[in-house]
Chains A and B, each alone.
Chain A
Amino acid sequence: MKEVTHINGANARSGGLSKFLQFTKANKNIFIQYSSLILVFSFFMIMSNGDLLSVVNLQTIIRQLAVLFIITVGLMFVFSHGNMDISVGGVIALTSMIVTFTLNAGASLFVATLVAIVVSVGCYLLNIFIANQFKLMAVIASLAIMFSTRGVVTYMVSTSNESIKVEDISKLALFSSNLTFTITSLIVIAIVGIVLFNYSKIGKQNKAVGDNPLAAMQSGVDVKKSKVISYLIAGIMIGFASMFSLARSYTVSENSGMGLEMDVIVALVLGGMALSGGSKSKISSAIVGSITLVLLNNGLIMIGVRPEIVSLVKGIIFLIVVFFILRRPRTEVIPR
């Protein structure tokens, strides 16, 4: 009993600092969650003398954010299953190409957007169908989709004499130059993502399946259906994102969407997501992570980091974030 009072006394004396430390400790998961964003943001803010937040640059960042943000939120549903997808770059390329053909055939923007969503959803449903049917890991199925979509686009590009591009670019103005639309889309998608992920059966079952499919199944979760739904959501979002992607360049080449699959993974890790999925997955990883990655790429050019050390700087930032995540407090299990 004496001991206890003594400890309390010591606590009271250290006062403010200990209160602060307690606050940090209590909220350390949140700090970790946002640590990469805070780190990247403050680093470039200082290095660029505040230019990072100039109006021009903010607009730039939002434009660049659109595609990555939307697909990362969409793929979050797939990744929270513990599944991995690397077909997104190929799917975006294929979707953009078919949308280009559709627009050039005289279809309206609305029809083109629907076509985009249908194509992308088709690719993703095929993805999960292959995985389910042949009992493959989803990442392997997505590898197949990646090669075939990329293959179709490369074939079309190499056999057509003209470059594949949107003839009437004014049709895509909504997606290319209307910043209000872009911001509204991002906010709506963020809200839809948060609601589906945190406040609906879909998201909750997703996380359960990611942790323990057997227990989820015995708790009444239809594991297969839950997977199909997550791919469906990813498909819809990615279809929508391809419209933004196409509106950036109006052209489709064999390189369209190249590297996006890796960007998504990097963004999620930067956002503090453990790629094994499960209940520790947070939709904020997608939101924070994609913003962080765009900021990072933007900031590196803004402050003109020498190209030889760009990779090094990225590596260090990555390392710090991963270090934080790996050291995420794993409360020691109290045995009985």
Chain B
Amino acid sequence: MKTLLKKVLLLTVISVLLAACGAKSNDSSEANDSDKKQTDDGFTIGVMLYNYTDVQGKEIKSYGDYLAEHFNVNFNYATVGTSEEDHIAALENLIASGVDAVISGYDTSLEQSLQLAEQAKVYYGVALGDVRDDVSSEYFVGGLYNFGEKPETIGAQYAQAAYEAGVKNIGVTSFQEFAFVDAPAIISGFKEKLAELDPANEITVYDTEYHMFGPEDVSSAVTKVISDHPEVDAIFGLGSGMDFVYPAILNSTKPDIKVLALGYNDSTPAALENGSVLAAGTNNYSQIIANVFAQLYDRLNGHEYTDWELNGSVDYPIFSSVEEVEDFQKYIVPGDKSNGAVTVEELKQVMKTFNENATWQELQQLTTRTLSEIKEAR
């Protein structure tokens, strides 16, 4: 009895597999059908992120929910693993679930992902980074410069904050270049600006300490900076400045070292207030999603910018005072996104679907507004 049952089950599995194989040819028509079906009750856009529990994930999701309220779309948020295999699998699963477009956080396996997107006639955009210009696909809406088109200016802003705070010996820590492509540009912008502000050369910036992705890697990088340069009085932390570098310094032998942080979390306002953090910054996730979404939505409705380019840009807000943090919380990451960085009304103005004269450049202008510009617009 036992073996019989087993055999039956095994046979079922095999025959199901074979059936799938035999029916392969119907593939494309099937995909078209599902396309049409979706149009009637709105589009579905898949989102692929490592998690939805950190600031980044929460912000992206809440902005997505805001968009879903005002446009004829649904979002299917998928949590993906970090490996290529996991990325592809999640994309396949989204496609199989019938999404019309996908916002991927990352450019993992971009070529293979685009191949899948093309096969399934699904539009694809990369949100959290720019992409190399050797890829192209009619279903691809491109990537985003998350640190603006010129990352050097971000470095310059941090340099300004450092100079104003009067620190003299600055260490730099960062993720390695292969993982954080913009790091060298930001650092060189930082150094150049300091040289310009400080012609007497009173401020020293040490060589960058590169590290891997774990908190313990960051912590040992910080320790190394302190032991190599005991006189260090500030660290420019590019590798998760708030989440990793700041706690690492608090736990080090010199907890009074000031932090210039790329990053933001709940402890930032307090740290800025007591002066242990000189400046912090974070991506403007509303702008990021607004930018990718606008392009995907237009494409789904058959519109395309004539002045389209591969990589768009968004602003990277930096704040060095308590007031600026308050503004940031109020205008960039508010709970109610209709007061946020990009409102639906503003967005529709630059979308082809709603405004025939809209251009890609206007979209970029909208999504690169700085904190003060957004504040003015409210």
Residues in A lying within 8 Å of B, measured CB to CB: 26-27, 29-30, 34, 48, 51, 53-60, 62-64, 67, 89, 154, 157-158, 165, 169, 179-180, 183, 186-187, 245, 248-260, 284, 291, 297-298, 301-304, 306-308, 310
Contact A255–B82 (Cβ < 8 Å): yes
Q: In the complex, A284 Cα to B5 Cα: how many Å?
A: 13
Query: Given that A183-B21, A304-B97 are known contacts, is A258 also in contact with B81, CB under 8 Å in the complex?
Result: yes
Set of chain A residues within 8 Å of B93, measured between Cβ atoms: 60, 64, 297-298, 301-302
Q: In the complex, A318 Cα to B144 Cα: how many Å?
A: 39
Partner of A55, one of B5, B27, B78, B97: B27
* Nearest CB of chain A from residue B90's CB, rounded to whole Å: 7
Contact A307–B77 (Cβ < 8 Å): yes
User: Taking the complex as formed, is B70 at the interface, i.e. its CB lies under 8 A from any CB of chain A?
Assistant: no
* Nearest CB of chain B from residue A151's CB, rounded to whole Å: 10
Q: In the complex, A213 Cα to B1 Cα: how many Å?
A: 32
The residues in B between 83 and 98 inclusive whose CB is less than 8 angstroms from any CB of A are 83-90, 92-98
Partner of A301, one of B24, B84, B94: B94
Q: Classify the interface of chain A: helix, strand, loop or mixed.
A: helix
Contact B17–A298 (Cβ < 8 Å): no
Query: Given that A157-B178, A183-B17, A253-B84 are known contacts, is A60 also in contact with B95, CB under 8 Å in the complex?
Result: yes
Contact A259–B83 (Cβ < 8 Å): yes
Contact B20–A301 (Cβ < 8 Å): no
Q: Classify the interface of chain B: helix, strand, loop or mixed.
A: helix
Query: Given that A56-B31, A64-B92, A255-B84 are known contacts, is A307 also in contact with B61, CB under 8 Å in the complex?
Result: yes
Q: In the complex, A37 Cα to B11 Cα: how many Å?
A: 15
User: Taking the complex as formed, is B9 at the interface, i.e. its CB lies under 8 A from any CB of chain A?
Assistant: yes
Contact B52–A308 (Cβ < 8 Å): yes
Q: In the complex, A316 Cα to B94 Cα: how many Å?
A: 23
Contact A259–B90 (Cβ < 8 Å): no
* Nearest CB of chain B from residue A104's CB, rounded to whole Å: 15
When A and B form their complex, what is the total count of cross-chain residue pairs whose Cβ atoms lie within 8 Å? 148
Q: In the complex, A304 Cα to B97 Cα: how many Å?
A: 8
* Sample of 17 more A-B contacts, CB < 8 Å, known A56-B34, A58-B20: A56-B30, A58-B16, A58-B19, A154-B212, A187-B14, A245-B84, A248-B89, A249-B109, A250-B111, A252-B84, A253-B108, A255-B84, A284-B6, A301-B76, A302-B96, A302-B97, A304-B77
Contact B31–A248 (Cβ < 8 Å): no
A310: nearest chain-B partner, CB-CB: B79
Q: In the complex, A61 Cα to B53 Cα: how many Å?
A: 27
* Nearest CB of chain B from residue A315's CB, rounded to whole Å: 14
Partner of B9, one of A34, A58, A253, A304: A34
- Encoded as 1 (CB less than 8 Å from any A CB) or 0, chain B from 38 to 58 comes to 000000001001011100010
Query: Given that A180-B21, A298-B96, A303-B97 are known contacts, is A158 also in contact with B87, CB under 8 Å in the complex?
Result: no
Contact B84–A54 (Cβ < 8 Å): no
Set of chain B residues within 8 Å of A34, measured between Cβ atoms: 9
A-B contact pairs, 14 of them (CB 8 A): A26-B1, A30-B2, A51-B96, A58-B16, A64-B89, A64-B92, A67-B85, A158-B176, A249-B112, A253-B84, A297-B89, A297-B93, A302-B93, A308-B52
User: Taking the complex as formed, is B267 at the interface, i.e. its CB lies under 8 A from any CB of chain A?
Assistant: no
